[in-house]
Amino acid sequence: MNAMTLDADAWRAAGDAGLAAAIDLRRAIHAEPEVGLDLPKTTAKVKAALAGLPLEIREGGSTSGLVAILRGPANGRTVLLRGDMDALPLQEDTGLAFASKHEGAMHACGHDTHVAMLAGAAAALCARRESLPGTVMFMFQPGEEGWHGARFMLDDGLIDPVPDVAFALHISPNMPTGVFAGRTGPLMAAADRLTVRVLGAGGHASMPNDAVDPIPILCEIVTALQAMMTRRVPVFEPSVLTVAHIKAGTTNNVIPEDAWMEGTIRSFSETTRATVHEGLRRVAEHVAAAHGARAEVNIIPGFPVTVCDGRITDLAAETARALYGEEGWVTMTHPLMGAEDFSYILQKSPGAMVFLGAAPEGGDYRTCCALHSNRMVLNEDVMARGIAMHCAMAEAALTAELDL
* Residue 122: partners with Cβ closer than 8 Å, 6 or more residues away: 50, 53, 55, 68, 70, 136, 138
Residues paired with residue 377 on neighbouring β-strands, in sequence order: none
Nearer to Ni ion, 175 or 283 (CB): 175
Nearer to Ni ion, 322 or 352 (CB): 352
Q: Output the smallest distance, CB 144 to Ni ion, in A.
A: 6
Please tell me whether residue 189 binds Ni ion under the rule CB under 5 A: no
DSSP for 226-256? Answer: HHHHHHHS-TTS-EEEEEEEEEE-SSTTEE-
* Number of residues near Ni ion (by CB under 5 A): 1
Choices 103-111, 218-226, 315-323, 362-370 (CB under 5 A): range interacting with Ni ion = 103-111
Nearer to Ni ion, 248 or 359 (CB): 359
Nearer to Ni ion, 138 or 342 (CB): 342
**173-185: b (≥16 Cβ within 10 Å) or e:** bbbebbbbbbbbe
Q: Output the smallest distance, CB 201 to Ni ion, in A.
A: 45
Site string for Ni ion, 106-145 (x = CB under 5 A): ---x------------------------------------
Nearer to Ni ion, 124 or 377 (CB): 377
What is the rounded distance in angstroms from the CA atom of residue 340 to the CA atom of residue 309?
15
Rounded-to-10 torsion of CA 391, 353, 96, 122: 20
Choices 16-24, 63-71, 101-109, 393-401 (CB under 5 A): range interacting with Ni ion = 101-109
* Residue 86: partners with Cβ closer than 8 Å, 6 or more residues away: 34, 35, 36, 37, 39, 42, 111, 142, 143, 144, 145, 147, 149
Q: Output the smallest distance, CB 63 to Ni ion, in A.
A: 17
Q: Output the smallest distance, CB 131 to Ni ion, in A.
A: 32
Backbone phi, then psi, for 343, in 5-degree steps? -55, -35
Q: Output the smallest distance, CB 290 to Ni ion, in A.
A: 42
Q: Output the smallest distance, CB 266 to Ni ion, in A.
A: 16
Chain residues binding Ni ion by CB under 5 A are 109
